Amino acid sequence: MARTRIIEIDPLTRVEGHGKVTIHLDDHNNVDEARLHIVEFRGFERFILGRLYWEVPVIVQRLCGICPVSHHLAASKAMDSIVGVDCLTPTAEKMRRLMHYGQIMQSNVLHFFHLSSPDLLFGFESEVEKRNIFGIIEAYPELAVKGIKMRKFGQEVIRATAGKKIHGTSAIPGGVNKNLSLAERDHLLQDIEQMIEWAQEAVAIAEGYCVDHLSLVQQFATFNSSHMSLVREDGAMDLYHGVLRAIDASGNVIFDQVDYRDFNDYLMEEVRSWSYMKFPFIKRRGNLDGWYRVGPLSRMNTAGFIDTPLADDAHQAFRAFAGGRPNQMSLAYHWARMIEVLHCVEKIRQLLHDPDLQGSDLLLRGERREEGIGVLEAPRGTLFHHYRVDNNDQVTFCNLIVATTNNNEAMNRAITQVAKAHLSSQKTIPEGMLNKIEVAVRAYDPCLSCATHALGRMPLDVALYDAAGNLLEHRVKDGR
């Protein structure tokens, strides 16, 4: 097929990852496909080689400025296996869970209030000058303050459990190095009821958006896919631990009750020449049909129920919205994200009232093993850490599949879908096109936006070339 033009969209991010979008048109200016190219985590696995296994949970946090806790905990789970511990003490397990819930809460809140709420509340087409967190602060000051305070609360949970807001050290192979003091507990209890109330409001905003913009939400970047996540053995949503479950687009089980340490028997990764990010797929279904989605939307689809009452009600409403079938709408990620925030806050409340958190049994040791696999549900989806450690305690093998990688194919589908709907048969880039691409990618909250999180904007550089490589059109959108 002749490719006469390539459009490049280049988010100018430098810190955690770097991505650009190319849209490939055919002779008739119809979209053939769109690709999200990502340069991410390159060389990181090699950096870990030779390091000592107990350093790894601390080192891997450097992977990401937004979800360091997820990497800290996934690596710790893998290293639990290395030191021969399959079941932590109650205090250790609950401290880690508390940390994890704090992390998902703050990350999801940051994404929703800082990054997505401007798109949702002002509309994708609204002026760039307004469509950012500063616009939200001006137009919806109360909402902005709630977002900031909820994020701060999540960070306080992390500080109390990990020792620091970022790059804490408390999860160690076989357990944790601290419990929750009564002073720390009481400090967090002060605000917890307020957080529950605000989390419910956030769910209502996200749900309201989907209901009020029904046809947009049903069409925009909506496509059938399989979904995968960890769930508790009884099918409840579980963000920290459980078994792997995957369902197809109709909701039929592809696999279930899979011990995550066997993930290599179920998943494979494909390399494509144009991207540094691999494409994982479900082995049994092959590399063409085996791709799947992960993250908040998928977790709502795979979980049978949620074990906290308020989030469970919200989950039922969410399921009803898609008629009880798997929800395939990219924009519903936002709603799912807020249901998870509510679930996390409910879990945090439960844990704060649990005396196990003041226990002093923190650490276990078992028989040393060579291989360790740790999996959990990070804010953006399932996160796999896999290591081998030699007799000298040095890491000899490391493979990480991060949430964004799991969603690689899905993000490519999402932008292809948007490009096809809005670009085909046009000679120039239509107004609002970049915004729509950005909104579609943003629904997945990929790690490549780590750097832009901080500023709440995603700058884009778009270049349009003809077949001979001549620049036809160039647009820069700095997102301010």
Partner 1 sequence: MSKQFKFEIDGIEIEARHGQSIMQAADDAGVYIPRLCDVEGLEPQGSCRVCVVKQNGRVVSACTQPAIEGSKVENETEEILGYRRDLVRMLYHEGNHLCPICEASGRCELQAMGYRLGITQATKYPYLQPVRPVDASHPDIVLDTNRCILCGRCIRASRDIDKKHVFEYVGRGIHKRVGVNGNKLADTNVELKDRAIDLATCPVGCIIQKGRGFFAPIGERQFDKKPITLGVGPGKGRGKP
Does 360 help bind partner 1 (rule: CB under 8 A)? no
Contacts of 91 (CB under 8 A, 6+ apart): 176, 179, 356, 357, 358, 359, 360, 361, 362
Does 351 help bind partner 1 (rule: CB under 8 A)? no
Does 167 help bind partner 1 (rule: CB under 8 A)? yes
- Kindly indicate which of the ranges 13-21, 123-131, 389-397, 400-408 contains the residues binding partner 1, using the contact rule CB under 8 A: 389-397
Distance of closest approach, residue 241 Cβ to partner 1, in angstroms: 21
Does 369 help bind partner 1 (rule: CB under 8 A)? no
Distance of closest approach, residue 390 Cβ to partner 1, in angstroms: 9
Collapsing DSSP states into helix, strand and coil, what is residue 31? strand
449 token code pair: 């936006």
**Among 428, 380, 441, CA closest to 406:** 380
Name which position in 194, 222, 350, 394 contacts partner 1 (CB under 8 A). 394
Going by their DSSP bridges, the two strands 292-293 and 226-231 should be labelled as: parallel
3-state helix, strand, coil split of the chain in percent (to 5) is: 50, 20, 30
Q: How many CB atoms lie within 10 A of CB 439?
A: 21
3-state SS record for 101-150: HHHHHHHHHHHHHHHHHHHHHHCCCCCCCCCCHHHHHHHCHHHHHHHHHH
From CA 320, how far away is CA 367, in angstroms rounded? 48
* Interface positions, 77-96, toward partner 1 (CB under 8 A): 83
- Kindly indicate which of the ranges 158-166, 266-274, 323-331, 396-404 contains the residues binding partner 1, using the contact rule CB under 8 A: 158-166
- Kindly indicate which of the ranges 13-21, 206-214, 219-227, 392-400 contains the residues binding partner 1, using the contact rule CB under 8 A: 392-400
Q: Toward partner 1, which CB reaches closer, 62 or 427?
A: 62
Name which position in 11, 118, 154, 168 contacts partner 1 (CB under 8 A). 168
Q: What are phi and psi of 314, to 5 degrees?
A: -65, -40
Residue with token string 């276990």 = 364
Name which position in 170, 226, 404, 452 contacts partner 1 (CB under 8 A). 170
Does 178 help bind partner 1 (rule: CB under 8 A)? yes
Name which position in 126, 169, 222, 350 contacts partner 1 (CB under 8 A). 169
The alpha carbon of 390 is separated from its chain's Cα centroid by a whole number of angstroms, namely 32
Does 392 help bind partner 1 (rule: CB under 8 A)? yes
Name which position in 234, 361, 371, 393 contacts partner 1 (CB under 8 A). 393
Does 200 help bind partner 1 (rule: CB under 8 A)? no
* Interface positions, 255-284, toward partner 1 (CB under 8 A): none
Distance of closest approach, residue 474 Cβ to partner 1, in angstroms: 35
CA angle 303, 309, 314 (to 5 degrees): 60
Name which position in 163, 359, 366, 459 contacts partner 1 (CB under 8 A). 163
- Kindly indicate which of the ranges 22-30, 59-67, 238-246, 327-335 contains the residues binding partner 1, using the contact rule CB under 8 A: 59-67
Q: What are phi and psi of 17, to 5 degrees?
A: -165, 170
Binding site for partner 1 (CB under 8 A): 50-52, 54-55, 57-59, 61-62, 83, 162-164, 167-170, 172-173, 177-178, 392-394
